[in-house]
Structure 1
Amino acid sequence: MYELFIIARKNIKLFFKNIVLIPMFVGIPLFQTYMMSNMLGSEPSTGVVEGFVKLTLLGEQMGTALDFPMVSVLIQFVFITSVVLSATMMTERQENTYLRILASPIRKWKVVVGNLIGNTLVVLMVSSFIMLGSYLVFDISWGSSMALLIPFTILVAFAAASILYFIASFFTSPKVAEGAMSMIVILMTFLSGGFTGEGSLPRLRYLTFNKYAVDGFLGIIREQNIGVLATNALVLLSLAVLSIIAATIIYERRDLNG
């Protein structure tokens, strides 16, 4: 347990050591939401807005027009945070930091678990800052059930950290990994409709992590049937478990500094 605590704490300290990251990961999503609100504020309350982003507006029973873009932005930055964390983790592994800190051999599964704990906590904190900021600044509701919102947010943070950790395991260069993962994030955001609006590319959405995370949050916000949330949560949990197993197998076959 001590090793897990050390690795997780180090990941958290490394992320928050860069004071530029925190306002960027919270400020940019809120700025995007501000731009969206300005665009929608000059449009009628029903119909379709045409512009850089096409959004299908929702009736009062379905939520507000900002629900889908705000949630999409949240998931996008959940992934971006995970990209930065995974790249940082690779640098630490190359420098053999964990062995130097603990001064003893470490079981590789402990490195995987420790990294995932630290990364998940950081992603969860960034997500919470974005959600709180959107509520305070734009009065965006994240649903009336904290009993559903909190565990689902934790699950999304855990799944995102696990998936990006798995993707990073295929690379040995942090810079190459960060570039490749960033492209994957952009592609999944596009395919899920994050750049084009809810309802676009309906079939391709099912191939992305974003689809299940966004639909789960929207299910909470719009107070849809609990089955909607349960289905998306099960998919996210399955993706996270498979990613952890695969990443562990890959790292078991490598040196900690390889």
Structure 2
Amino acid sequence: MPIWTIAKYEIIRKLRTRYVLLIQFLMPLLLIFILGSALSGVFKVEDKVLNPVKVDIVQSDSGALREGFQSFIASSETLNHLQTHVISTREDAIQRLKEGESEFAVIIPSDFSAQVKAGKAAQWEMILGHDYMKNLTAQMVFRTYFDKVNQIQAIQIIARTSSLEPLKQVEDVSSQHAAASSSLVHVGQLAASNSNYTAMQYYAASILVMFLLYSGMITAFSLQNEKVNHTLSRLNGMPVHEYQILLGKIIGNMFLSIGQVAVIIGATKLFYGVDWGSQFLTLFLICLCMILASMSLAIVVMLLFKSDSMIAVIFQTGIMIMTFLSGGFTPLPDGVLKQVGSYTLNYWGMQSMFQLMLGSETTIIAHHVLILGCMAIGLSLIAFLVYRKGGYHE
């Protein structure tokens, strides 16, 4: 059949081109090694031992809440995290922080109990030390006390009572909540393995997805070169349908991309120790969806833009933006960028591979693969409509 003949010669011609071998096979392996080695420390997840924080307390409040607060800081749960020391003035607390004698300071105003009793906003002043983790620990411990005070204050406002008697019982809040709700909590793990992916795994998936999209750019160049070199008119003059020429070249490049997938996965597993999981058929399906999407983009961009320079700009800009938004260069924190990234091909390709690496449940993996497949099919339909309108000819 003409389609397979064209595909065969497309593969032979590409394999004879050095830059194709360099870009599609060697460059991804080099980038995975560099990024995976250089940023390995970013992906290490280790438990940290939190030593008790030295906290200075300036207690100016002599109201009804003073007794409850004393019980709170004397509780066993609080003592596991804080070492408190009462200071007379704010200036002394600041001086002790500067000299390193304390690591955190709390200033309780004299009208704290009165403000709470009146149902008004009441605040403490927290003076941070130099250690971020110790600051965070102290703030979270005191937050448990504030939460309980706010809860009881809200109840009293609704009940229209000014009694602060229940607030005197605020003590060891964390342990009370833990004891009360222990039967409602099930400790387990979401994945089959209790591990996180390494930097080498992360960038193996990220670079593989990115270079599968770059294979679409190379395909677009190949399709465009047939026009530039005026060989497409000769092919159109042969007893071959126009769609067979296009389909043959696309199939040839798809087989090259499948070979690229096999080389990258095999080399990273053999030489870098990357664990791709045990579901290789699903991994192949994910890569096939990415290849289909990449080839569809190649058709659309090639038919809409008539020069190699414009094709290169569109592809490179789009791939870089999608890789960045999906966290392909470095994991992104929660926020607007991460939400926008969830609409990109890279995101769903990477996340599908990550779920395989972590041994997640079948339903979770199927969810990611289904969305990626829908995106690939959608791009294929767009490519078909663009081809029907413009055709592949000079």
Give 1:17 deviation, angstroms.
1.8
Q: How many Å separate the matches in 1 of 2:281 and 2:210?
A: 24
Give 1:240 deviation, angstroms.
2.6
Give 1:81 deviation, angstroms.
1.8
| 1:109 lines up with 2:109 in the alignment | no
Give 1:44 deviation, angstroms.
8.4
Specify the alignment match of 2:330 in structure 1. 196
| 1:245 lines up with 2:244 in the alignment | no
Identity %: 19
Q: How many Å separate the matches in 2 of 1:9 and 1:96?
A: 20
Once the two structures are superposed, what CA deviation does each residue of 1:123-159 show, in whole Å capped at 9, x if it has no partner? 1111221111111221111111223222332232222
**1:155-174, aligned counterparts within 5 Å?**
155-174=289-308
Q: How many Å separate the matches in 2 of 1:188 and 1:120?
A: 21
Specify the alignment match of 1:15 in structure 2. 14
Partner of 1:195, secondary structure, is coil
Unmatched tracts of structure 1, length 5 or more: 48-58
Once the two structures are superposed, what CA deviation does each residue of 1:162-220 show, in whole Å capped at 9, x if it has no partner? 23322332111123212221111111111111122255632011221101111111111
Once the two structures are superposed, what CA deviation does each residue of 1:82-119 show, in whole Å capped at 9, x if it has no partner? 21121111111444535534752543333343233122
Query: Kindly tell me: are residues 246 and 18 of structure 1, through their superposed partners in 2, closer, same or farther at Cα, counting changes over 3 Å?
Result: same
Moved more, 90-99 or 69-78: 90-99
| 1:137 lines up with 2:280 in the alignment | no
Partner of 2:199, secondary structure, is coil
Contact 2:326 / 2:347 at 8 angstroms: preserved in 1? yes
Specify the alignment match of 1:38 in structure 2. 37
Contact 1:87 / 1:175 at 8 angstroms: preserved in 2? no
Specify the alignment match of 1:81 in structure 2. 215
Contact 2:42 / 2:199 at 8 angstroms: preserved in 1? no
Contact 2:326 / 2:346 at 8 angstroms: preserved in 1? yes
Unmatched tracts of structure 2, length 5 or more: 47-192
Query: Kindly tell me: are residues 232 and 106 of structure 1, through their superposed partners in 2, closer, same or farther at Cα, counting changes over 3 Å?
Result: farther
Contact 2:242 / 2:393 at 8 angstroms: preserved in 1? no
Contact 1:166 / 1:244 at 8 angstroms: preserved in 2? no
- TM (norm. structure 1) is 0.83
Q: How many Å separate the matches in 2 of 1:96 and 1:248?
A: 24
Query: Kindly tell me: are residues 237 and 95 of structure 1, through their superposed partners in 2, closer, same or farther at Cα, counting changes over 3 Å?
Result: farther
Q: How many Å separate the matches in 1 of 2:235 and 2:298?
A: 25
Q: Who wins on radius of gyration, i.e. which is larger?
A: 2
Specify the alignment match of 2:260 in structure 1. 126
Alpha-carbon RMSD = 2.6
Higher helix share: 1
Contact 1:69 / 1:197 at 8 angstroms: preserved in 2? no
Query: Aligned letter for 1:158?
Result: L
Give 1:43 deviation, angstroms.
6.6
Query: Aligned letter for 1:210?
Result: N
Q: Which of the pair has the greater relative contact order for Cα pairs under 8 Å at 6+ separation?
A: 1
Of 344, 347, 355 in structure 2, the residue corresponding to residue 219 of structure 1 is: 355
Specify the alignment match of 2:283 in structure 1. 149
Contact 1:15 / 1:85 at 8 angstroms: preserved in 2? no
Contact 2:3 / 2:244 at 8 angstroms: preserved in 1? yes
Moved more, 104-113 or 210-219: 104-113
| 1:231 lines up with 2:362 in the alignment | no
Query: Aligned letter for 1:204?
Result: V
